[in-house]
Structure 1
Amino acid sequence: MNYLSKSPWLYIPKPNVNAHVKLICFPYAGGSTRSFSNWVKILPDYVELIMIAMPGRGSRFSEASADCMDTLTDTLLNELSPHLSRETIFFGHSLGARVAFEVYRKLKKSGVQGPCHFIASGSANPGKDRSAENTHSLSDTDFIKKLRNLNGTPPEVLENEELMTLFIPVLRADFKLADTYCYNGSEQLPCNVTVFMGLDDEISEQEQLAWQHFFSGQLTFKKFNGDHFFIDSHNEIVGNAVCDLIQEIFIDKTLTHVG
């Protein structure tokens, strides 16, 4: 899974020891590496794809889910450290964007090289107070209704009582991360940031553009067809946009020796 260690936290489908750029992807609440895995087919040869594999799903289904942002990001910081000697780009969708932001903050605080570019996809800014939502503490009936309204869980899964009995604790843990996190600091992270937004997302454009306040670099903004889960419904289009962005970032860098 990982050629530098046997970390269950990182899925690297095509290890590339000669990669000059590492694209590190953080999934949304309830999400998995599935949202990013197809991108390995279209990324430039000089990019290695690294996906965060959260506990409680996939091959880690039997493991306890993470429900504390500080503990989670401390763990990810440790797991990612061997991969940060090259240029990196962080991509996070929804909750994943805030997890990536916290990992970046801790990297900066520890003096470790952070990403050269940050992509916040389908996410309100880190300073938004979500505590009033309390999605994670809803009754099972209301929780499933909320999931149905979000349109990110297949109807056949929501209607399968046995599957939902197994999966609800995982989803509750992820939503607890989302509901209880709010960044109240004032520091700006030193790189450019790109915001990806679904045209039909319930998160307002203003809430997403406010990512600018948390970075000292330039903000760019790109809209996609689809709702909050446009990353899945328009996965290839989003992947191509990520590829285009990477090539634009590194167009002036010397990559002629990449084979």
Structure 2
Amino acid sequence: MPDTLASNPEPAETRSRASELMALHRAEKLLTVVNVWDVISARVVADVPGTAALATASHSIASSYGYDDGEQIPVDLMLEAVSRIVRATGLPVTADLEAGYGDPGETVRRAIGLGVVGCNLEDQLKPLPEAVRAVEQVVKVAEEEGVDFVLNARTDAFARGRERDPEVNLADAIERGRAFLDAGAPVVFVPGKLTDEQVQALVDAFGPQRLTLIAIPGTPPLARLEELGVARVSFGPLSQNVALTALQELVEGVQRGEGVPSSMRVLN
């Protein structure tokens, strides 16, 4: 692994990476992105053969700095962390920018300047016209910057609708997702524990290679999601949870008098 970070990508390189990321979403092969939160996690993931792109996890970055999720971390600190990840790899990087930190357009403009070529943008179940305006702002900025930006417009219909009827959540997700696509978003992110039938309904509503999901226990297998026409699957904060679980298991083993597991790899 390199010991130093590269400089921010030049605009031409950013445009090239954006087009590459967009093509990965449009391909019939499912794009998987295991989310990262700092330079070392980015390099470890990028070095695994088959990794085509990286995605940051806002929850994981915030936690690593001691902040709660939900835009509690200062936007400057979030963008600094994202910038370091971009400069640590030559792969396209899409960033989780929550709801845009009060100014979605300007936050995305700053992110593009750092070499970010895609982002998640949460609707937080705000009134639909307000959520659509945020999408429109980001689309306009991407056009002004000349970048084929992969806006992953997120609806929290399922994530925030756990107490609602699943059919209500599905109808809400479809209405919001269609509105975001009409506003120019290339893909729609619907996080939640979805059934095979719900995924099929969303793909039918949006079209193939327009839906992105999060892989959580209980969701359909990756091969099935590819078969259904899902564009991308990410892992959110679960990748950091897996890493921290391994660390905690090491400590538990040490407390039992054990040493470093023989399965450990020297990665840095």
TM-score, normalising length: structure 2? 0.37
Structure with the higher strand share, 1 or 2: 1
Q: Which has the larger radius of gyration?
A: 2
Structure with the higher helix share, 1 or 2: 2
TM-score, normalising length: structure 1? 0.38
